[in-house]
Amino acid sequence: MSATVVALGGNALMRPGERGTAAEQLANLRRAVAALRSLLGPGLVITHGNGPQVGNELIRQERAADEAPPLPLWLAVAQTQAEIGALIAAELRPAATPVCVLTHVRVAPDDPAFDRPTKPIGPFYPAEQAEQLERERGWAMVADANRGHRRVVPSPQPLEVVELDAIRGLSASGAVVIACGGGGIPVVRRGERLAGVDAVIDKDRASALLARGLDAKRLIVLTEVPAVYRDFGEPAQEEIRALSHAEAKTLLPELAEGSMRPKVEAALAFGRETLITNFDALESALGGDGGTRIA
């Protein structure tokens, strides 16, 4: 049985202007699951982002630091995997049998990203507190225009989905598997053990790695816009319906580094049919009339 991997973007759980309450996230997921109805069944594997949820969790930890010790980032990723997995599972029932897999993803300890942290996470801090956090916790901090200073962490390349065999077996059993949440819990190998590291793995790259490991027939990346655009945001922006591997590679430099580029890079890394679209256009895109297909 060949799998389909669907990568849910952040808008699947939180919309602009929302606080991210459980009720808001469930309402958004209801819409997402409705859009996925035609895909529900054996062979479906769902991945998801966790950016806003990890940010909220880090804020809770900072506010409660005098009462309870803050946890490392990799455990915050684990917490939000379980949180979001429970929310998705609640919306999938009873139409499907969901199973959420707490997923670790191995990265290289010498990945260059560890020397150049770039991924902003968590709350904003005033300059004096940011300096204190740099001294006491060794955090890398960057200034953000008019909003204060923010922690940045590495975003290394994913190398191995540790629970791949378990995910494959659960999928073959007929379950809809929820896995690689937030890109996975980043770990490095130390001898025979795995150790968590404070980093954030790109969700789309991890989804492509998982899809390749499952020998999936296709990868569907759901984001905020209905397709990939040339000259996005400009008066002459043009929706792209289809791209060959070579055309997608040529287009990469034109795409925004923090939004659409990682999605096209994930399609290239997967190497099979990838569909990039949003929930509203998914049904028509699955029928060949919408979205961007990368072959």
Domains defined along the chain, listed by start: 4-103+163-186+200-294 (3.40.1160.10)
The gap between the terminal CA atoms of the chain, to the nearest Å, is 21
Q: How confident is the model at residue 14 (pLDDT cuts 50, 70, 90)?
A: confident
pTM above 0.75, yes or no: yes
Q: What is the DSSP annotation of 80-115?
A: HHHHHHHHHHHHHTTTS-EEE---EEE--TT-GGGG
Active-site residue, from 119, 148, 213, 249: 119
Lowest-pLDDT range, 36-45, 179-188, 202-211?
A: 36-45
Three-state SS at 294: strand
Active-site residue, from 9, 122, 263, 278: 263
φ and ψ of 221, to 5 deg: -110, 115
pLDDT at residue 145 above 90? no
Distance of alpha carbon 63 from alpha carbon 70, whole angstroms? 9
**249: annotated active-site residue:** no
φ and ψ of 54, to 5 deg: -65, -40
Active-site residue, from 10, 20, 196, 213: 10
Distance of alpha carbon 53 from alpha carbon 59, whole angstroms? 10
Active-site residue, from 28, 122, 181, 203: 203
pLDDT at residue 1 above 70? no
Lowest-pLDDT range, 49-53, 142-146, 185-189?
A: 142-146
**203: annotated active-site residue:** yes
What average pLDDT does range 90-111 have in this prediction?
96
Considering only residues 105 and 55, tell me which one the structure prediction assigns the higher pLDDT: 105
**217: annotated active-site residue:** no
